[in-house]
Amino acid sequence: MWIGVYSFKASNVFGMGTPPQFYARTRDGHDKLKHRLIERCRAAGHENLKDKWAFIQCDIRKCATEREATLAYPDVARRQMVDLFTKYAQLMMDCEDVVRAYLEELAQETSQKAS
């Protein structure tokens, strides 16, 4: 699984581009796990991410263009990302059973293929 921030560049932070997004996603080829995590995220009150490439996507607030806002933005962005990472970590603790069950199934499938 990966977490990160997508499109964190000037046109997305200050300009007309879409806002940067915090994301959490599974490795390609693990769609079954991604869909299970989407279901768990939905049950936990997160928006429906069906047919998305990540199981968590959250916009990071853009920066106003006034000088004071621009100077303050690094701390604003950092606080948002830390908050999102903290929520992600809590959600992942709640999803540990989903991930463990998926890994066990994957190990069984691999074992059966090897037999």
Q: Tell me the average pLDDT across 9-19.
A: 91
In terms of residue numbers, what domain contains 18?
Answer: 2-114
pLDDT tens track for 20-35 = 998 889 988 899 999 8
What pLDDT, on a 0 to 100 scale, did the predictor assign at position 57? 85
Average per-residue pLDDT for the chain = 88
pLDDT tens track for 68-113 = 999 999 999 999 999 988 988 888 898 899 999 999 999 998 888 8
Q: Count CA within 13 A, CB hemisphere, residue 70.
A: 6
What pLDDT, on a 0 to 100 scale, did the predictor assign at position 50? 60
- For the chain, count helices (H), then strands (E): 4, 3
Query: What 3-state class would DSSP assign to 62?
Result: coil
Amino acid at 11: S
Burial 23-52 (b: 16+ CB within 10 A, else e): bbbbeeeeeebbebbbbbbeeeebeebeee
How many domains does one find in the chain?
1
Tell me the pTM: 0.77
